[in-house]
Amino acid sequence: MSSSDPSHPEPGSSIPDRRRIMCPSSVCSEGATLLGIVKGNGTISFVKEKLTVTKNFVEISKTGRKPESRFRFANTCLQAPCVHWKENKCSLVDNMVNVFSKVAADVNDLPECTIRSDCRWYDQHGSKACTVCPYLIYELDPS
């Protein structure tokens, strides 16, 4: 991965303003990106192609358990209005990297990702963020 490759910015490169900076931990809403499906072991199985959530998907997925406990979504990073936005960065990924870095995968074995080039977490922590990303579920459902 080269810093001259615009599809894979180096950590802290400040994603250019012309691109939509994505939060990989969002709610199910029309226009969001479906990142993956929550597996039985509580990790995420990422989709292989970029899928945009439709109104129909939102309606269907809201029957039964909360969609955020079954799927993982990405959407535009809200920055300041978000409870995780502290000191001009996402504190959620900072905490995730600190907590899960010892059990996370090797940085040379990253999961497939459809938003990496626009991802807030990748911009902050590079490959380390990608190794902990599969462990985060927006909303746990105890049932």
| Number of domains within the chain | 1
pLDDT in tens, 35-89: 999 999 988 999 999 999 999 999 999 998 899 999 999 999 999 999 999 999 9
CB 60 within 8 A of CB 34: no
Q: Going by DSSP bridges, is the β-strand pair 85-86/71-76 parallel, antiparallel, or unpaired?
A: unpaired
Within 10 Å of residue 42's Cβ, how many Cβ atoms? 11
58 inside domain: yes
Q: Cβ neighbours of residue 83 under 8 Å, at least 6 residues apart?
A: none
CA distance 70 to 39: 8
Residue 3 is predicted with a pLDDT of: 34
Q: What is the pTM of this model?
A: 0.81
> Diameter of the chain by CA atoms?
46
116 inside domain: yes
Q: Cβ neighbours of residue 86 under 8 Å, at least 6 residues apart?
A: none
Domain that holds residue 70: 22-135
1 inside domain: no
pLDDT in tens, 79-129: 999 999 999 999 999 999 988 777 666 667 788 899 999 999 999 999 989
113 inside domain: yes
